[in-house]
Chains A and B, each alone.
Chain A
Amino acid sequence: MLTQKEFFEKAGAGELQAVRCSRCGALAIPPRAFCPECSERAWQPAPLSGDGTITSYTVIRVAPRGFAGEVPYAIAAVHMKEGVSLLGRVVDIPFDKLKVGLAVRFRPLTRNGQTAVGFGPR
């Protein structure tokens, strides 16, 4: 079972790792104990390509403490090619080019020594 720590270590190296249920084939990211489709506990690693499209987005202008120096910044929900979705920061795409359906690619971001999910242009 892939732990959260292991997920982010792999993500930091550029590899986006999901898990696939070896009973019903359902894909999940992040991993969870039981398959939400069939309740089995038989996950196999399933690397993702990193390619996806934006399903919703926003530009944060009022930030939590600790992020105030970074505003404005964009966050998007991205539907990955393989069928799962992830939330991430959008980088290197002008705000006025953001739109639902825009193709993006996973890009690991480092903030305060931690890896976070990011997306940039395809």
Chain B
Amino acid sequence: MTTRPIRVLIAKPGLDGHDRGAKVVARALRDAGFEVIYTGIRQTAEQIVQAAIDEDVDVVGLSSLSGAHNEFFPEVVRLLREQGAGDVLVIGGGVIPPDDAENLKRQGIAAIFGPGTPTRDIIDFIRREVQAVRT
């Protein structure tokens, strides 16, 4: 039985231009066999959710290093649910203080991967979670 490759949207919400982490993660996921779409910088939550739906992704990975994560990450989760795409796994990364990470998890962000995270941790997490949703 062939399964569809896992599809991931990597997105940069807000005005933050630090995209090194987003691009490194995107490339590592692609090398791991996922289909990866990168939005580029300066995306609104609405644009990200639209792209996630248009591209029919399993996962949205959000990256923000400007401190705007509390504003944008929960908003993406909320809009996905509103559009009937609440099963999309939302994960995040960036400069995110530990307290904020806990708060974000309570608001539906499945995991926060901070600086120094090995990309294989992210890959393993996505595989496991998407598997669980699909079965």
Please determine whether chains A and B interact with each other in the same assembly: no
Residues of A bordering B, CB below 8 Å: none
Residues of B bordering A, CB below 8 Å: none
